[in-house]
Amino acid sequence: MLTPERHQMILELLKEKEVIRIQEITEATGASESTIRRDLSELEEQKLLQRVHGGASSLPRKMEESTFLERAMRNEKEKTAIAKYAAGLVNEHDSVYLDAGTTTYLMIPYLPQDNLVVVTNGVNIALELLKRNIKTILLGGELKARTWAVVGRDAVTTIGQYRFDKCFLGINGIDAEHGLTTPDPDEAHVKQLALRYSDEKYVLADSSKFSRITFAKVAELDGLHVITDEGLDDVQREAYQKKTKLKVVTV
Amino acid sequence: MLTPERHQMILELLKEKEVIRIQEITEATGASESTIRRDLSELEEQKLLQRVHGGASSLPRKMEESTFLERAMRNEKEKTAIAKYAAGLVNEHDSVYLDAGTTTYLMIPYLPQDNLVVVTNGVNIALELLKRNIKTILLGGELKARTWAVVGRDAVTTIGQYRFDKCFLGINGIDAEHGLTTPDPDEAHVKQLALRYSDEKYVLADSSKFSRITFAKVAELDGLHVITDEGLDDVQREAYQKKTKLKVVTV
DNA sequence: TTGATTTTGATTGAATTCGAAAAATAAACT
DNA sequence: AGTTTATTTTTCGAATTCAATCAAAATCAA
């Protein structure tokens, strides 16, 4: 294993764990303790991490991505598993709607690259798609500071111009009785239209979202594919399976 | 196998692997270790890769801002001066259109914060406005990779929903006879509409843009305010002053 | 063809990286 | 405080990798 590979791996580990001890790195890389210590010194020199007694910790990140990636961190393992599965459902020549949100954001690395058109209302999602050279159409409208989502009259008008093979929605609350709910009525409206104009409708919801109800109703559960992780108990699982096509992915 | 073939092959391998060891290259090319070392030295010289102990690694390309800030760097002093002056023209309670582009991007820090609505087709501009908590409306449409600008049918539809007190356009070419021109016809179309729907029309063009003509025509010069720097000679200055309201800012 | 130039592959001593052990330092405990 | 344990730094030899050199092969110019 070459030095830059090790460095990369160490930084990857730090992204997930915030702090890491030397032993974990030696096990992951197969290199000796001495080598890892040297690596850590170099990386600290380059200001890419902070050494601490027993290992290293990641530097306090600056404003930039924090709003986004921080939220993505909650249940990241589960969300990544869900996102990976969802992205696997996308084929070449599909036209796809990707809702603004963290779980849908995580789908991007796993999407097929060619002959794909993606429509989205998430600005960060659009930029990430662009990096992968995927044809991207962004909805118009007012930009929400908290979510970097485009909503409002223009978004509604623009989305009406398209029809989708598949849409993928993140959601704040999913409940057997009250269906899908989200805190912002404007965002709810856009989600509704995405569902209406889409052939196959997928909802990505890690298990923490279940039996939660928020302000604005998006849709009933009928006819939806819901992708979630293993955190649901059997009773819940059965209840939702009656209403939707539930897919449980393993982390 | 000829030298350029080998070089090409090495770069191809690096695209896929991020890092590569010498042995892998010798196996793939059939050339000797010495030859590969010479190749790597040359390629490093040309800044096409980074040598590391045991092999080579691809250069850390900084996707993020590079496209933008790099271009912003050209004539940065002049552009900033122009942007600062232009931003001073914006009052509270205005509704403003900010065209995608580097000079308009530089206006953002100097805009008034309150009771302002900004419409833009530049994704990076929208994000920057958001950081300043300025109410932002983003046009919809297809996203251009090079400029991070939204263009196309949806952009045209969306912009038609608004009327502006002032619009600020960046431009690639400005010429006394051929007017404003820009390389991309789609972007030209959006600029045309911004001008049509705007009361006061401002064009931001540092002096390098003068007497330059590119592919797609945007508009004639009549009725435009042009803001530029001191780099214009007296003859040019007089010529343009006949056609437009020319404002020269000092750096 | 001949001689000059360039490219290539092998060899060698120097430099580097790595792992392990020893010495030094810091934390934890009695 | 004094002892023990854990962690870090330093040191050193072995293994690998590197740069330089040189001769053979291929290419080029007349």
Strand partners, A85: none
Residues B85 and B201 in one domain: yes
Question: Is A97 an 8 Å CB contact of chain B?
Answer: no
Residues B159 and B228 in one domain: yes
Residues A34 and A75 in one domain: no
Residues B129 and B10 in one domain: no
Residues B52 and B165 in one domain: no
* CB contacts < 8 A (A, B): 98
**Could you tell me which chain B residue has the CA closest to the CA of A155?**
B140
Query: Inter-chain contact A136–B142, Cβ cutoff 8 Å?
Result: yes
Residues A38 and A108 in one domain: no
Question: Is A190 an 8 Å CB contact of chain B?
Answer: no
- Tens of pLDDT along chain B (251 residues) come to 788 889 989 999 988 888 999 999 999 999 999 999 999 999 998 889 999 999 999 886 544 444 555 555 678 889 999 999 999 999 999 999 999 999 999 999 999 989 999 999 999 999 999 989 999 999 999 999 888 999 999 999 999 999 999 999 999 999 989 999 999 999 999 999 999 999 999 999 999 999 999 999 999 999 999 999 998 888 889 889 988 898 999 88
Instruction: Give every strand in the sheet of A179-182, ordered side by side.
Output: A173-175, A179-182, A216-219
Residue at A204 is within a domain: yes
CATH number of the domain at A41, please.
1.10.10
Residues A92 and A183 in one domain: yes
**pLDDT of A57:** 87
Q: Answer yes or no: are the C-beta atoms of B245 and B226 closer than 8 Å.
A: yes
**pLDDT of B17:** 85
Q: Which two tokens stand for residue B45?
A: 């010289």
Query: Inter-chain contact B53–A2, Cβ cutoff 8 Å?
Result: yes
Asked if the Cβ of residue A34 lies within 7 A of any atom of strand C, the reply is yes
**pLDDT of A45:** 87
Name the phi and psi angles at B91, rounded to 5: -110, 165
Q: How many CB atoms lie within 10 A of CB A189?
A: 19
Cβ partners under 8 Å of residue A124, min gap 6? A68, A100, A105, A148
**pLDDT of A73:** 59
CATH number of the domain at B229, please.
3.40.50.1360
Residue numbers of the domain that contains B8: 3-57
Residues A103 and A174 in one domain: yes
* C1’ C30 / CA A56, Å: 30
Residue at A218 is within a domain: yes
Asked if the Cβ of residue B4 lies within 7 A of any atom of strand C, the reply is no
Half-sphere exposure of B10 (CA within 13 A, CB side): 32
**pLDDT of A64:** 45
What digits encode the pLDDT tens for the residues A125-162? 998 899 888 999 999 999 998 889 999 999 999 999 99
Distances (CA, A) of A14 to A50, A70, A107, B57, B163: 10, 14, 21, 21, 49
Partners of A4 on chain B (C-beta within 8 Å) are 19, 52, 57
Residues A98 and A165 in one domain: yes
**pLDDT of B69:** 52
Query: Inter-chain contact B138–A143, Cβ cutoff 8 Å?
Result: yes
Q: How many domains does chain B have?
A: 2
Residues B80 and B41 in one domain: no
CA–CA dist B112, B93 (Å, integer) = 10
**pLDDT of B145:** 86
Q: Answer yes or no: are the C-beta atoms of B11 and B43 closer than 8 Å.
A: yes
Q: Answer yes or no: are the C-beta atoms of A94 and A198 closer than 8 Å.
A: no
Chain A interface, best mutation among B13, B16, B17, B19, by max A CB count within 10 A: B19
Q: Which of B57, B85, B101 is the last residue of a domain?
A: B57
CA–CA dist B29, B27 (Å, integer) = 6
Question: Is A127 an 8 Å CB contact of chain B?
Answer: yes
Partners of B136 on chain A (C-beta within 8 Å) are 142-143
Residue at A28 is within a domain: yes
Chain C nucleotides close to protein (CB under 7 A) are: 7-11, 16-21, 26-27
Residue at A62 is within a domain: no
Q: Which two tokens stand for residue B138?
A: 């983003």
**pLDDT of A194:** 97
Residues A44 and A129 in one domain: no
- Burial class of residue A123 in the structure, from the number of CB atoms within 10 Å of its CB (0-12 exposed, 13-18 middle, 19+ buried): buried
Residues B49 and B134 in one domain: no
Question: Is A4 an 8 Å CB contact of chain B?
Answer: yes
